[in-house]
Amino acid sequence: MGIIDDRLVELGIEIPVAAIPKTAKIETYLIYNKTLRVSGQLPAIDGDVKYIGHVGREQSLANGQAAARLSALNVVAQAKHALNGDLDRIERVLNLRGYVATIEGFDQVAQVVNGASELLHDIFGDMGKHTRTAVGVASMPYNVTVEIEGLFALKD
């Protein structure tokens, strides 16, 4: 076990098995020039989406944050899969992009995506500090509440 694995145990966080896309013909991750990009991940456990609908209507702010956290956990699952289980190869979390299904006029999109940012900071400490985009949208694939993607710098 590595440093990040020890941290996960300390936090009581279990990384799920990385999901394989059912319909899209995409790569769930791509390693290029010492960076790892993880495609957008949904708030699902074992393929079962846990958060459906818009924040501000079907989902509360707290549920939106939980959806962002779960989506980010799936980003980490993809990273772990990409790195053959060795999360210590991550030098830094560079960027997160968060997309949140919201009602018109909802102005707390950044607070929703904080659920993802805080998880990565908890797991990676100062290496988890990152730049970020948080966008509210009218609709999402499968009517999910949140989608999160990540970009990581890798050690040599």
Would you say residue 49 lies in a domain? Answer: yes
Would you say residue 111 lies in a domain? Answer: yes
Whole-Å CA distances, 66 to 32, 87, 88, 154, 156:
30, 23, 25, 27, 33
Would you say residue 125 lies in a domain? Answer: yes
Q: Can you give the pTM of this predicted structure?
A: 0.96
Q: Which domain holds residue 118?
A: 3-14+28-154
Would you say residue 143 lies in a domain? Answer: yes
Would you say residue 42 lies in a domain? Answer: yes
Distance of alpha carbon 76 from alpha carbon 27, whole angstroms: 15
User: Phi, psi at residue 43, to the nearest 5°?
Assistant: -80, 75
Number of domains in the chain: 1
Would you say residue 112 lies in a domain? Answer: yes
Q: Please give the chain's pLDDT, 156 residues, in tens.
A: 799 999 999 999 999 999 887 666 789 999 999 999 999 999 999 989 999 999 999 999 999 999 999 999 999 999 999 999 999 999 999 999 999 999 999 999 999 999 999 999 999 999 999 999 999 999 999 999 999 999 999 998
Would you say residue 20 lies in a domain? Answer: no
Would you say residue 131 lies in a domain? Answer: yes
Best CA proximity match to 106, nearest among 145, 136, 143: 136
At 133, which CATH number? Answer: 3.30.1330.40
